[in-house]
């Protein structure tokens, strides 16, 4: 006996593990990946833009300094009696006088010797002579080994001379490159620290933002362990719809369980009396035992059929969204009823395209009971109108006959199980009871009235429409 229990426990554990393994990933991981992706993209493009901006500013400032020096050279230059250029005043920067100082100038023209700064010493700037730069032209050069240069040049025709003089100022890029390197280093460390800080903040936000879901888990665990019927813990506004749906599901489950218990009790109570009668007749060896068994078995069969119809309707309603077209089902029912009552006239009218939130099989069973009763107890005419009330929420179906009708005092009692006003015709007395129970399961209503056109009974059936 112990082994089967162990197997059962193992099966339950396996099922639990299987159900637990069915997930689509972690919400926290998704949120962190999205945050990390956006942070990385924004920091990358922001860093590149800031690097380009600061590098351009530093380079432009460096070029402006070269421009000031070039302007000073041009302003201090004149043509001597020998046709050569000279400075009427010395340039202000002392580095021009120090050999290999990193700051140089040179003046060149065709047919003239180069006029270089002392800082060039035994070197010269290789400046092309086949072009004329009316405005300052700046570029980088690697003509000095181990000393990259930033060169600015401009072509000038000085007063008293027709010669095109190329004024050139060059400076080592070492200071400029060091500044750019320092800027990029600061940007890199700053953006890395900023990225880690933002990721940490995103992680804390994710943990704090998803924390209410842990409350929901504990609340559900409380339902399972303490027997509570609802989640009543205060939760954030965004989680309330989930909790409301959960409470609605719990309410729906309780309602189904209560309906199942009530049906089981009703069926047991309905079968108890026929079984007692059969048992007493068998114990007493009654001579009409066979007749008693047949009669009471028929009663039990009617009760079983009734409760099975209710159980099927409840099961179909719980299975999902029900949908059925009224007109095709109505035509199918009429074809079947006409074979039994071929001398009865059936007329249909109304909306051909209306649909209701009822399973097709249950709809046809409801219509079949009502139309068959109208044909059975009517005088030969049955009139069915679809969507008679034009209610936006309910489709109202009228079933009228030209029979004797039902007195107003009996219209409520006729829905009881086994109730029959005309015992002269065959029947079980369960048709209207089944109709009422199934209609109420789907949230509809059924009422009895007097037909103004035919003079007999008017059954007003209201069924919920399907959502558009």
Q: pLDDT confidence of 266, banded at 50, 70, 90? A: low
Which of 62 and 419 is assigned the larger pLDDT?
A: 62
Which of 237 and 375 is assigned the larger pLDDT?
A: 375
Across 394-417, b (16+ Cβ under 10 Å) vs e yields bbbbbbbbbbebbeeeeeeebbeb
Kindly state the average pLDDT of the residues 282-294: 81
- SS3 annotation, 45-100: HHHHHHHHHHHHHHHHHHHHHHHHHHHHHHHHEEECCCCCEEECCCCCCHHHHCCC
Say what the pLDDT of residue 281 is: 80
Answer yes or no: are the C-beta atoms of 210 and 28 closer than 8 Å.
yes
Kindly state the average pLDDT of the residues 73-101: 87
Using the predicted structure, report yes or no on whether residue 21 has a pLDDT greater than 60. Answer: no
Using the predicted structure, report yes or no on whether residue 59 has a pLDDT greater than 90. Answer: yes
Using the predicted structure, report yes or no on whether residue 420 has a pLDDT greater than 50. Answer: no
Alpha carbons within 13 A on the beta-carbon side of 230 = 10
Q: Where is average pLDDT lowest: 110-124, 146-160, 250-264, 306-320?
A: 306-320
Using the predicted structure, report yes or no on whether residue 449 has a pLDDT greater than 70. Answer: yes
Give the C-alpha separation, 359 to 441, whole Å. Answer: 11
Q: How far is CA 457 from CA 25, 336, 424, in A?
A: 61, 21, 18
In the DSSP assignment, the letter for residue 380 is S
Q: Where is average pLDDT lowest: 10-24, 42-56, 316-330, 446-460?
A: 10-24
Which of 276 and 13 is assigned the larger pLDDT?
A: 276
Q: Where is average pLDDT lowest: 231-245, 255-269, 349-363?
A: 255-269
Kindly state the average pLDDT of the residues 236-246: 77
Answer yes or no: are the C-beta atoms of 430 and 409 closer than 8 Å.
no
Using the predicted structure, report yes or no on whether residue 207 has a pLDDT greater than 80. Answer: yes
Say what the pLDDT of residue 1 is: 41
Using the predicted structure, report yes or no on whether residue 321 has a pLDDT greater than 80. Answer: no
Locate 392 and state its tokens.
């936006």
Using the predicted structure, report yes or no on whether residue 182 has a pLDDT greater than 90. Answer: yes
Q: Per 3-state DSSP, what percentage of the chain is helix, strand, and coil (rounded to 5)?
A: 55, 15, 30
Which of 236 and 313 is assigned the larger pLDDT?
A: 236
Say what the pLDDT of residue 48 is: 93
Q: pLDDT confidence of 415, banded at 50, 70, 90? A: low
Kindly state the average pLDDT of the residues 248-252: 79
Using the predicted structure, report yes or no on whether residue 30 has a pLDDT greater than 80. Answer: yes
* Residues of the chain above pLDDT 90, percent: 26
CB atoms within 10 A of CB 70: 20
Give the C-alpha separation, 461 to 449, whole Å. Answer: 11
Using the predicted structure, report yes or no on whether residue 319 has a pLDDT greater than 50. Answer: no
Tens of pLDDT, residue by residue over 104-141, are 999 988 888 888 999 998 888 888 777 788 889 999 99
The reply to whether the predicted model has a pTM over 0.85 is: no
- Averaging pLDDT over each range in 40-49, 82-91, 92-101, which range is the top one? 40-49
Say what the pLDDT of residue 310 is: 63
- Averaging pLDDT over each range in 84-88, 399-403, 410-414, which range is the top one? 399-403
Tens of pLDDT, residue by residue over 384-410, are 999 877 778 889 999 999 988 888 877
Say what the pLDDT of residue 226 is: 73
Give the C-alpha separation, 90 to 77, whole Å. Answer: 10
Q: How far is CA 209 from CA 36, 205, 212, 234, 239, in A?
A: 17, 6, 7, 15, 11
Kindly state the average pLDDT of the residues 147-169: 89
Say what the pLDDT of residue 306 is: 63
State residue 440 phi and psi, 5-degree precision: -65, -35
Q: Where is average pLDDT lowest: 120-134, 183-197, 242-256, 387-401?
A: 242-256
Q: Pseudo-torsion of CA 393, 394, 395, 401, nearest 10°?
A: -150
């Amino acid at each position: 006996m112990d082994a089967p229990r162990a197997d059962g426990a193992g099966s339950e554990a396996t099922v639990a593990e299987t159900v637990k393994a069915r997930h689509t990933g972690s919400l926290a991981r998704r949120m962190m990946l999205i945050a990390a992706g956006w942070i990385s993209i924004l920091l990358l493009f922001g860093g590149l833009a800031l690097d380009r901006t600061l590098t351009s500013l530093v380079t432009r400032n460096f070029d402006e300094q070269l421009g000031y020096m070039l302007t000073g050279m041009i302003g201090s230059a004149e043509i001597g009696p020998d046709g050569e250029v000279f400075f009427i005043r010395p340039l202000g920067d002392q580095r021009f006088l120090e050999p290999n100082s990193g700051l140089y100038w040179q003046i060149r023209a065709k047919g003239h010797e180069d006029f270089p700064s002392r800082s060039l010493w035994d070197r010269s700037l290789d400046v092309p002579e086949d072009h004329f730069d009316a405005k300052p032209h700046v570029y980088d050069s690697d003509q000095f080994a181990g000393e990259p240069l930033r060169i600015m040049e401009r072509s000038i025709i000085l007063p008293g001379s027709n010669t095109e003089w190329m004024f050139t100022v060059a400076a080592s890029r070492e200071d400029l490159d060091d500044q750019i390197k320092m800027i990029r280093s600061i940007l890199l460390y700053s953006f890395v620290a900023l990225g880690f800080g933002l990721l940490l903040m995103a992680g804390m936000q994710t943990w704090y933002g998803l924390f209410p879901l842990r409350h929901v888990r504990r609340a559900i665990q409380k339902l399972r362990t303490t027997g509570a019927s609802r989640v009543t813990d205060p939760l954030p506004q965004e989680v309330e719809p989930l909790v409301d749906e959960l409470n609605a599901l719990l309410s729906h489950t309780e309602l189904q369980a209560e309906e199942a218990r009530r049906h089981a009790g009703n069926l047991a109570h309905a079968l108890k009396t026929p079984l007692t009668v059969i048992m007493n007749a068998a114990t007493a060896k009654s001579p009409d035992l066979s007749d008693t068994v047949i009669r009471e078995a028929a009663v039990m069969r009617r009760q079983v059929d009734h409760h099975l119809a209710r159980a099927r309707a409840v099961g179909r309603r719980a299975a999902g969204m029900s949908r059925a077209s009224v007109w095709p089902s109505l035509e199918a029912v009429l074809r079947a009823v006409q074979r039994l009552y071929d001398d009865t006239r059936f007329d249909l009218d109304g909306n051909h395209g209306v649909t209701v939130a009822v399973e097709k099989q249950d709809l046809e069973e409801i219509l079949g009971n009502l139309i068959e009763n109208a044909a059975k107890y009517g005088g030969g005419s049955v009139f069915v109108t679809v969507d008679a009330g034009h209610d936006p929420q309910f489709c109202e179906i009228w079933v009228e006959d030209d029979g004797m009708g039902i007195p107003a005092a009996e219209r409520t009692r006729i829905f009881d199980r086994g109730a029959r006003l005309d015992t002269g015709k065959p029947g079980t007395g369960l048709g209207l009871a089944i109709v009422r129970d199934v209609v109420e399961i789907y949230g509809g209503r059924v009422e009895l009235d007097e037909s103004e056109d035919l003079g007999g009974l008017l059954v007003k059936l209201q069924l919920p429409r399907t959502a558009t």
